A and B are shown apart, each in its own frame.
Chain A
Amino acid sequence: MAVMRRVLAPFRETVGFSRWMLLAGIVIVAFFVVLAVGAEWIAPYGYAQKSADGVDFPKLAEPGGDHLLGTDRLFFDVWSRVVWGARTALEVIVLAVAGSMILGLALGLVSGYVGGWFDRILVLVMDALYAFPPLLLAIVFGFLLADKIGAGVVSAALSLTVVYLPQYFRVVRNSTISARESTYVEAARALGAPGRTVITRYLFGNVIHSVPVIGTLNAADALGTLAALGFLGLGIQPTDGADWGFDLSRALDDASSGIWWTGVFSGAAIVLLITGLTLVGEGLNETINPVLRKKRLQKIRREETIR
């Protein structure tokens, strides 16, 4: 109960537009989670299905009739691809964000606590990774992993993990360094607590608070990078899953001949989900970050001050 109250606290503290944004974001993200989880029941066909009941799908059919949003160049049903795409996108993002979060936390904690040359080398590596334009880094890893373990959900998630790892590392390492100097850590060390205990019991809880906000904002970014990888043909292959970015790259060829339905919907799904994640992230940021929080006037209790 107390935990629930703490989780909901930032939401109850929000006012006006920020609260509305956070709510809208949550609704949008929830909608896509429903699509992703229930893809089997919501999508009329499979993501790589070209025929039903022995009848082949038409190529590039206009929206309407059996195919709500039409069919594309590969005979796939566009609406089904949009629904299944939600599953692919959320799978990759959850894996990537969780991966970079866990790795970043672990490396940041150890690096900040241990210090010395280990810390210096890690900082240099992470700074260089951070300086690398994210999309290019994702391209390099996507390019390699596509050759090495085949393009798929795992390789896309791995490329994104590497791209977003430095952000968590930096934040966690810096707060670890400042927490390390505090008296409670000194006390624990004076009592003879081993490094393991200090890190897990004293530092972990004190550095983790900034991680969720980075997580939601990164998730939005990661989805954009995933779409770009798909667009460049380094994402998920069309027979392994529905990739919104891949469908868009195909749709671009159709556009000049006036065929609009193959790309417009998968693109809209990307925009909507990124917007939803950004709204959640920004809403949280604005309520948690005291600099941005709107100051509300406190009521002065007369009786107390007079007495």
Chain B
Amino acid sequence: MSTATAPGSLPRYIVQRLLLIIPMVWFILTLVFLLMRVAPGDPVSASVGGRLPEAALDQRREALGLNDPLIQQYWDYLSGVLTLDFGNTITDNTPITQIVKENGGATLTLTISAMLLALVVGLPLGLIAGRYRDTPADGGIRIFGIVTYAAPVFYTGLLVQLLFLNVFSGWPLLGQSTPITEFTVETRTHILLLDAIIAGDGDAVIDVLKHLMLPAVTLGLLICGIFIRLTRVNVLQTLQADYVEAARARGIPERRVVRSHAFRNAMVPVVTIIGLQVALLLSGAVLTEKTFAWPGLGNQLITYIDQRDYAAVQGIITLFAVVVVLISILIDIVIALIDPRVRY
């Protein structure tokens, strides 16, 4: 037996995880397809019926392939996704890929900055709470973690908006930038912040950052609650581990025991947690975008839900789900690279 395929070897593990993508994605695609097709009536008249003449409606149906047999539609949908074609919307006949290109950047900006904020705030607080268990500091941090996680993002968003409206009036509450910035900054990457930096327009950068702050803080607070809880629990567990006891027995100063034995080992599962948060981050982003009129994919999704546009909802949800599956499997692989215990 060659070492490359021996059970427990890294390449074998990676291949296994990668192969898992196929049935997972296939199943998700089938699920979304079936769910969207069992819907009553026909999606075209549900969303644009009454607003267009019958001939135009029929044209839309033909273009969407709704007149084809179900199995043909299923095949078209699957092969479309394989070639990264998620179909067109019914209401304004835009390709989903176009929506992703135009609005994906805003979602990316929001999610990444929220994740960074959550890490910067959540990890230290979790470490402190775990280290000083059952002290007032622990209690306070835990309550903070539970409440920020308990508060729906749209509620945190509402409170933040009310606060800034009354205390820092004039601070931008909605949107990604002022119209002037949007107009003057040349579109290159479809990520407004990057575009503004590339253009070297200082005012535009500041404007975008000011708009970004409230949504990012709101979404970041939600995620940081989870980091606090899980980091704390990990620290508690590592502090009780035998190797910590052993380190203490060897006379290593408590400070060092906590730092290099307990904290360091507590951080390993946190990488996993970051991966698992992708789903929450995306869900949270959908709601945050709606709350702050942030022009991202989630905002688009909600607009199409309101318009009962099945094709658009199907396309965007499929994309989100596929992204989540891909990232979680990639994270699995990264963890296996870091931590050899996972492979066995």
B335 interface residue, CB < 8 Å from A?
no
B216 to chain A, nearest CB (A): 18
**A256 engages B24 (CB within 8 Å):** no
**A17 engages B134 (CB within 8 Å):** yes
| Cα distance, A112 to B286, chains bound together (Å) | 36
What number of residue pairs across chains A and B have CB atoms under 8 A from each other? 149
Q: Which listed residue (B133, B150, B291, B324) contacts A133, Cβ 8 A? A: B324
Q: Which of B139, B146, B237 has the most CB of A within 10 A?
A: B146
Q: Which residues of A contact B306 (CB under 8 A)?
A: 233
In terms of DSSP, what is the predominant structure of the interface of chain A?
helix
> Beyond A256-B173, A278-B149, A295-B240, is A139–B282 a contact (Cβ under 8 Å)?
no
- Of all chain B residues, which has the CB nearest A138? B283
> Beyond A124-B23, A132-B28, A140-B32, is A252–B320 a contact (Cβ under 8 Å)?
no
A127 interface residue, CB < 8 Å from B?
yes
In the complex, per-residue mask of B172-200: 1 if CB is within 8 Å of any chain A CB, else 0: 01100000000000000000000000000
> Beyond A141-B35, A224-B152, is A133–B159 a contact (Cβ under 8 Å)?
no
Q: Which listed residue (B158, B237, B283) contacts A267, Cβ 8 A? A: B158
Q: Which residues of B contact A267 (CB under 8 A)?
A: 151-152, 155, 158-159
Q: Which residues of B contact A234 (CB under 8 A)?
A: 305
A147 interface residue, CB < 8 Å from B?
yes
**B150 engages A220 (CB within 8 Å):** yes
| Cα distance, A47 to B31, chains bound together (Å) | 37
**A128 engages B24 (CB within 8 Å):** yes
A27 interface residue, CB < 8 Å from B?
no
**B291 engages A252 (CB within 8 Å):** yes
**A256 engages B161 (CB within 8 Å):** yes
> Beyond A131-B24, A263-B155, is A291–B237 a contact (Cβ under 8 Å)?
yes
**A275 engages B147 (CB within 8 Å):** yes
> Beyond A134-B279, A140-B32, is A252–B150 a contact (Cβ under 8 Å)?
no
Q: Which residues of A contact B32 (CB under 8 A)?
A: 140
**B154 engages A278 (CB within 8 Å):** no
Q: Count how many chain A residues have C-beta atoms less than 8 Å from C-beta atoms of the other chain.
A: 52
> Beyond A128-B31, A133-B280, A267-B158, is A231–B290 a contact (Cβ under 8 Å)?
yes
Q: Which listed residue (A139, A231, A256) contacts B154, Cβ 8 A? A: A231
**B317 engages A252 (CB within 8 Å):** no
A residues 225-271 near B (Cβ < 8 Å) are 227-228, 231-234, 245, 248-249, 251-252, 255-256, 258, 260, 263-264, 267, 270-271
B218 interface residue, CB < 8 Å from A?
no
B residues 265-293 near A (Cβ < 8 Å) are 279-280, 282-283, 286-287, 290-291
B134 to chain A, nearest CB (A): 5
**B313 engages A143 (CB within 8 Å):** yes
Q: Which residues of A contact B165 (CB under 8 A)?
A: 255-256, 258
Q: Which listed residue (A124, A245, A278) contacts B150, Cβ 8 A? A: A278
A125 interface residue, CB < 8 Å from B?
yes
**B152 engages A255 (CB within 8 Å):** no
| Cα distance, A291 to B142, chains bound together (Å) | 18
Q: Which residues of A contact B291 (CB under 8 A)?
A: 252
- Of all chain B residues, which has the CB nearest A289? B233
| Cα distance, A265 to B151, chains bound together (Å) | 12
- Of all chain A residues, which has the CB nearest B308? A147
B160 to chain A, nearest CB (A): 10
| Cα distance, A292 to B152, chains bound together (Å) | 28
17 contacts between A and B (CB under 8 A): A124-B27, A127-B24, A128-B24, A128-B27, A131-B321, A133-B320, A136-B320, A139-B313, A141-B35, A227-B152, A227-B154, A234-B305, A248-B158, A251-B158, A252-B154, A278-B149, A292-B237
Q: Known contacts A140-B36, A220-B150; can you find 18 more A-B pairs with CB under 8 A?
A: A132-B31, A132-B321, A134-B283, A135-B286, A139-B301, A139-B317, A141-B35, A144-B38, A148-B39, A227-B155, A231-B287, A232-B302, A252-B291, A256-B173, A263-B155, A267-B158, A274-B151, A294-B133
